[in-house]
Amino acid sequence: MGKDLKYVEFPVGIDKNCLDNCCYELDRSTDILTITSEGNFYNFPTERAPDIVNSLGLKRINVVKKVTLLLAFSPIFIFPFLLYFRQTLGEFYWPFTITLFLGGIMFFLISLDLFDIESYYKISKCKKCNRDFAYEEIKKPLVKKISTYDDYEETETRYFKCKYCNDEDLKIKSLLKSSKSRKRRSPKKGKTCKGCGRRFTLIEYRYPDTYLESFDTRRTIRHYKCKNCEYIEISMKDEAVSTD
């Protein structure tokens, strides 16, 4: 399934390259690679949330959220009994089973919605004037990925402004931390350098970064450097994560 290979080039003297809404920046003295891009706005239920919070109250939302989550998974425990009494239930077996699982799905969706409302409430409360549902996102979030020899780190910065008192606030979230990309002791045979044209001089000088780019895509970033000139290149390969 979906395989995609992309190269980002850093010719001599160039440390920054922007492609497809992503900027790649290289620190040649430390080999740190920084990738920045824009994320998406939150998709919170901004219309419904204030009404629901006002009528139910936060405490009740919290309880209902937990109860519906429990009910959502209850079919797993109830189903074995239905199966056991299948003979006794007769023609009612299938309607019961279907109702049970549809109910489970419904409770799961309600629970998700309440989780959303709760986190929207927490995020949008103004730190300065203390009003509810006050912060709004003023621009798209900045997603920053930093790859060093020891670490791979991804952070998301969101920009908020209170619609009542104009207080501005940043929320920074560390998304994932994984994938070490140590220096290779014995680099593989080199490729031809696109910078100086020499054969076998472009070597993969460190181990690749590999991480989940989205829930179903795994990305591998490989780092190349020319031994002859200062040309640097990274390659990115996206592969669908197989579910089997």
Tell me how far, at minimum, the Cβ of 193 lies from Zn ion, in Å: 3
String marking each residue 50-89 x if it binds Zn ion according to CB under 5 A = ----------------------------------------
Task: Give the C-alpha separation, 182 to 150, whole Å.
Answer: 7
Positions in 4-43 near Zn ion (CB under 5 A) = none
State yes or no: residue 196 binds Zn ion (CB under 5 A): yes
Tokens of 122: 């927490």
**Four-CA torsion 116, 118, 120, 126, nearest 10 degrees:** 180
What is the maximal distance between C-alpha atoms in the chain?
81
> Whose Cβ is closer to Zn ion: residue 16's or residue 128's?
128
Amino acid identity at 193: C
Q: Contact between 199 and Zn ion (CB under 5 A)?
A: no
Nearer to Zn ion, 92 or 164 (CB): 164
Q: Is 223 exposed, middle or buried (0-12, 13-18, 19+ CB in 10 A)?
A: buried
* Secondary-structure percent of the chain, ordered helix, strand, coil, rounded to 5: 30, 40, 30
Q: Which positions from 218 through 237 interact with Zn ion, judged by CB under 5 A? A: 226, 228-229, 231
| Residues of this chain that bind Zn ion (CB under 5 A) | 126, 128-129, 134, 162, 164-165, 167, 193, 195-196, 226, 228-229, 231
